[in-house]
Amino acid sequence: MVAGLAQLVLRCTAPGVPDTYQGNELWDDSLVDPDNRRPVDFGRRAAALADLRAGCDAAELWAQRHDGRVKLWVLHQALTARREAAACVGDASGYRPLAVTGRFADHVVAYTRTAPDGTAGLVAVAPRLPGAVMGADLAAPLGERWDDTAVALDAGAWTDRLTGRSVTGGRLADLLATLPVALLVRPTT
């Protein structure tokens, strides 16, 4: 699930068009054709999204991650962020990897998507090979599990689109305290 959310954030923010399939908004453990040829319960997905839009708590979504709503929430927020920061994901937008330091630096993917004028608008932070961070007890890669690992964020205010929290620094113990991924945006004034 950690890797699935990481792939989702990266797929929705990396250069190019996100490759998202209808019916995979929740966890789907089916194999390739013909195992995945069955009707999609669009009503269930629509109802879950309506509930999430009405209000949700990211920590609760993570605690109940097996029901798939956390994946739907991350997808919804990532696609909404793309739409709202269209200049940062369009043809003329930029991509810049962010430096990561600390004990688990090799286990983080972090980058900024920029508008054509160079201003940063979106930051994606996702675990890479999270098993090393999770350890032998397979604890979720959240909070202090990240030890001293930090991302060099551009100066200024950021908001984590997934949790609603204001972000003032790049310490992963703070950025990934609630969910194992972060999608940072500039706050609107």
Task: Tell which residue, 104, 109, 106, has the closest CA to residue 135.
Answer: 104
pTM: 0.91
- Tokens for 56, please give them: 């949700």
- Tokens for 91, please give them: 């043809």
Q: How far is CA 139 from CA 2, 63, 64, 106, 169, in A?
A: 11, 12, 15, 18, 24
pLDDT in tens, 91-141: 899 999 999 999 999 999 999 999 998 887 899 999 999 999 999 999 999
* Domain extent listing, the chain: 1-189
pLDDT in tens, 55-65: 989 999 999 99
Distance, in Å, from the CA atom of 99 to the CA atom of 77, rounded to the nearest integer, reads: 25
Pick the range with the lowest mean pLDDT from 36-50, 52-66, 132-146.
36-50
Secondary structure (3-state) at 76: helix
